[in-house]
A and B are shown apart, each in its own frame.
Chain A
């Protein structure tokens, strides 16, 4: 007689373990500053990611109420310190627009000043996107692009050092123009840089953009469609990555951008790479393409040459009339808005900075639900935040 068979047992696998809370940051190499994420993890899967910000809050808005308008400009440098020129510009634009509301108060920025603003603004956009590209590669695990990016960003910083004496916080763009004219031979050096830099973009693309590992990490991750982006108030490359052609330089043109010929790159589906519009890869790719467009704009300035004349309008005093304005401009990370309330005195009553990174970061919680921990790093890099601007 055969031995009795043991009863078969059904072992139940519990697929869900206990939830674990991990605090990622505030000191974390991939958070691009002091950002703390409270991650609720189920194994490797992120159930919730709650951002905690404010570690870099320096009371920009409160300071502004106690300073006169020119004194605020250095504070804007310290918001998005990667693109400080564009921060200066955004603030000066708001003050100028408010001043222009009163007849004869603001004569307009001289032609040479406008050209220099665009030249410097676009160079800073390239520098900012370079940093974004380099650190994104490093977050994902590719160290080499970082070295290339910083090597070339250094050349831009040297140009800035020549024109305004500073490498990080420039205080260069002032109300009514820019603070000083170009040093001798500056435009030749810009040309030299652009001639060198333009082919480099293809090198970057071959290093990272088409890299199979990079695509695997970023394609079809954290897809944000245009509707969601608009509802979250997200602008700049993050919105364009979602496939919407929206750029203030074109759609609500300011300064003299309407004289230049450039395209607005947008994200798109590429089935052979597995890339869909609005994913991390597209947000990244838009920045790479924007560098090319910035080069195009700078080439046009180089061809036409800077017009002669002053770089700064002659202003009796920077004292906007009573009133209020909300002005926005296209910074490298999106639409930078300034809401200024003036009572006619030399100091503003209220300055509110609407930071593009602040709104972009607010979408992180929804974007990261249900993804892996490693994807969080890919998302933070792709929305390209600077904590100085988020916390102000």
Chain B
């Protein structure tokens, strides 16, 4: 299926929860409302015609001070059907960014979500083990955010060099 067909399929099924479809771009993507992500993901993974069994990548995105949102991007692939889909979640920066986990659908999301939490501070509700993964456990702040300033010292060691 083409991204357009998948989008129409999702739109029929979920209506308002599917916010928009961006086509004129290198990788077309579907924007999904954050609160219905778990349902949409479940449907995508289990529907026979869609069969998205493979989560290729899960990334957090911060586009800088001009953009008031964080994004979480899911790159999905279907091994049996051989089509792909990009899902995007928009999370306002003002509130604590929250989105439900997809770990129970694709187990690979476990570590990817931990990484996104570690670097972007996005909280995945329902995650079984949401800890920092790449940074030390007592690190403060979320370094991949564009407004992050590194601390002067970490445990007595000078950080900027």
- Interface positions, chain B 22-77, Cβ under 8 Å from A, are 25-27, 53-57, 59, 61-64, 73, 75
Instruction: Give the shortest distance, in Å, between A228 (CB) and chain B (any CB).
Output: 8
Cβ contacts under 8 Å, B59 to chain A: 339, 350, 352
The reply to whether B135 and A326 contact each other, CB–CB distance below 8 Å, is no
Q: Is there an interface contact between B54 and A230, defined as CB atoms closer than 8 Å?
A: yes
The reply to whether B63 and A54 form a contact with Cβ atoms under 8 Å apart is no
CB neighbors of A among B124-139 (8 A): 132-136
Give A350 to B145 CA distance when docked, in angstroms.
11
Distance in angstroms between the alpha carbons of A54 and B86 in the assembled complex: 28
Bound CA–CA A359/B27 (angstroms): 23
- Is A324 a contact of B111 with CB atoms below 8 Å? no
Complex Cα distance A343/B62, Å?
12
In angstroms, Cα B57 to Cα A61, docked, is 14
Question: Quick one: given A339-B57, A352-B57, are A233 and B106 in contact (CB under 8 Å)?
Answer: yes
Q: A54-B135, A54-B136 are in contact. Are A232 and B107 (CB under 8 A)?
A: yes
**Would A57 and B134 be within 8 Å (CB), given that A231-B108, A232-B108 are in contact?**
yes
Q: A57-B134, A324-B27, A339-B73 given as contacts; is B57 within 8 A of A246 (CB)?
A: no
Closest-CB distance, A227 to chain B (whole angstroms) = 8
Complex contacts, B63 vs chain A, CB 8 Å: 341, 343, 349-350
Contacts of B56 in A (CB 8 A): 233, 326, 328, 335, 337, 354
Q: How far is the CB of A243 from chain B (nearest CB, A)?
A: 13
On whether the beta carbons of B79 and A324 are closer than 8 Å, the reply is: no
B110 at the interface (CB under 8 A from A): yes
Q: Contacting A362 at CB < 8 Å: which of B64, B79, B111, B132?
A: B111
Which B residues contact A (CB, under 8 angstroms)?
Answer: 25-27, 53-57, 59, 61-64, 73, 75, 79, 82, 86, 106-108, 110-111, 119, 132-136, 143-144
Q: List 23 A-B contacts (CB under 8 A).
A: A54-B132, A101-B26, A230-B54, A231-B106, A231-B107, A232-B108, A233-B55, A244-B79, A323-B25, A324-B25, A326-B86, A328-B56, A337-B75, A339-B59, A341-B61, A341-B63, A349-B63, A349-B64, A350-B62, A354-B56, A354-B57, A354-B75, A359-B111
